Amino acid sequence: MAILKIARMGHPVLFQQAEAVPDPAHPEIRRLVADMAETMVDASGLGLAAPQVHVPLRLFVWRGPEGVEALFNPELTPLEGPAEAAYEGCLSIPGLRGEVTRPSRIRFRGLDLHGEPIEGTAEGLAARVMQHETDHLDGILYLSRMTDLTKLGFTEELARAQPRE
């Protein structure tokens, strides 16, 4: 396994539409997933999309209930319920966080690491991470989802501004 270089905001790979993964079980794809998982954990991320490591494929890894999980060719559908505003960070935009409103519950479908269909629902942080990573597959950074740029700041400054209990 290897730690991969993470593309930062401004790199063209982050603004293009990723291509479908034809065979998730291919050995090169499995190696990519292992490297992405190691990279995400090393960077203390909650998720990592393939375009963030300069690979324009529709694949992301995230910290799921069973540990690090992978989803190929994801399709997400918002479910009924309220949208939630929360601060997001991104490994491709180090040091910044911004408030983004997203559906709090989603249905997801795609392929697992063996190329088998998988589907389910996610809510809360898991839903947010899956939406954030799927945005990367569509060439969208969270900054484009922000409606109030006064809710964007450096992570350290935002932490200092939080009321102490």
Among the options 38, 123, 133, 156, which is catalytic?
Answer: 133
98 to each of 40, 43, 101, 152, how far by Cα in Å? Answer: 20, 19, 10, 4
In 10 A of CB 164, how many CB atoms?
4
Residue for token digits 């996610």? 122
- Whether 80 is a known active-site residue: answer no
**Calpha distance 33→29 (Å, rounded):** 6
Query: Residue 8: CB partners within 8 Å, gap ≥ 6?
Result: 92, 93, 94
Catalytic residues, by residue number, are 133
